[in-house]
Structure 1
Amino acid sequence: MRLLIGLVCLVSLVACCGLAYWQWTRFESASGTFQNLGYVLQWPLFGLFPAFMVWRIRKLDRERKAKPVEAPPVPMTTVDVVKPARPVVHDDEPDDELAAYNRMLAELNARDER
């Protein structure tokens, strides 16, 4: 299988280099444009792409095998949900905005308990 993958990568590179040469001859001709020159630069990259993908897949596979297997996360149920602690309300707090916020939290907590 490795030999076949290597052969496909090599054939891809040779074919794309041939297409780059063809675009180079088109660029040098009287009707050649800079678009042909752009293709000259692109075709070798297209030819190298299969080899890059093989390298990348193997690298990711090695990294995946090197990591220890973790247990899948356990979904939370309604029993696992922890209610927040009751907010402490101090009527003698110097900050009126904080006292109003604490009263609002206490009311919401009382509503949740009903």
Structure 2
Amino acid sequence: MDRRLLQPGWIAGHLLVLAAALTCLRLGWWQWERAHEASGTAQNLGYSMLWPAFAVAFIYMWIRFLRLEKIKQQEEDEQTDQQLAELLDELDPAPEPVATVEDRPAELPADRPNPDEPGRPSEAPVLSVATVDEEDPDDPELTLYNQALAALAEEDRRRARRPRR
């Protein structure tokens, strides 16, 4: 059962629909008894069938309303997931493509050695990668990334608490 349906506002709605359905059933019973009295008419008999139909309509519409609210909540959750994914994409863009051997010019100058030949040192520049200390509070990208991960983890915890049908 969805815990959200047990909040005070929802409980009031459940009780209101239950009271309306019980009232309709009681009125149907009253009309049934009235139809079987000496002064009862076919109209009383008709109403004795109509009031329970009203009770069924109240219950049907309430259940339909609850299902629509659940669908709306699922759409909002999907939208939240999409926004988180976009946020993560902004924080961690796709890496730049690395040049491969096929991207090199077909003709190398004679004075430059081919870096693909074994045993010959390459004159290609050495690239270094900067790293960030995990505890560095000055890195805004890392902070945003960690916040996005925390939001995703919270969303997973929230979904785990909700029962699925």
The normalised TM-score by structure 1 is 0.50
Aligned partner of 2:23 among 15, 26, 31: 15
2:53 is aligned, of 41, 45, 61, to: 45
Contact persistence 1:17–1:43 (CA under 8 A): yes
How is 1:56-95 mapped onto 2 (pairs within 5 angstroms)?
56-66=64-74
% identical equivalent positions? 33
Post-superposition offset of 1:14: 1.5
State the one-letter code of the partner of 2:19: V
Q: CA deviation at 1:5?
A: 0.9
Structure 1 alignment gaps of length 5 or more: 70-114
Structure 2 counterpart of 1:34? 42
C-alpha displacement at 1:4, in angstroms? Answer: 0.6
TM-score where L is the length of structure 2: 0.36
Q: What is the CA deviation profile of residues 80-108 of structure 1, one whole-angstrom value per residue up to 9, with x for unaligned ones?
A: xxxxxxxxxxxxxxxxxxxxxxxxxxxxx
> Is residue 62 of structure 2 the alignment partner of residue 54 of structure 1?
yes
In structure 1, what is the Cα distance between the partners aligned to 2:27 and 2:53?
Answer: 11
Residue 6 of structure 2 is aligned to residue 6 of structure 1: no
What do residues 28-57 of structure 1 show as CA deviations (whole Å, max 9, x unaligned)?
Answer: 011212221111111112123222212112
CA distance in 2, matches of 1:5, 1:66: 21
User: Shift of the alpha carbon at 1:58?
Assistant: 2.1
Q: Which has the larger radius of gyration?
A: 2
The 1-side partners of 2:22 and 2:69 are apart by: 27
CA RMSD of aligned residues (A): 2.0
Unaligned runs of 5+ in 2: 1-8, 80-165
Aligned residues: 69
Structure 1 stretches of 4+ moved >3 Å:
61-69
Query: Aligned-pair distance for 1:8?
Result: 0.6
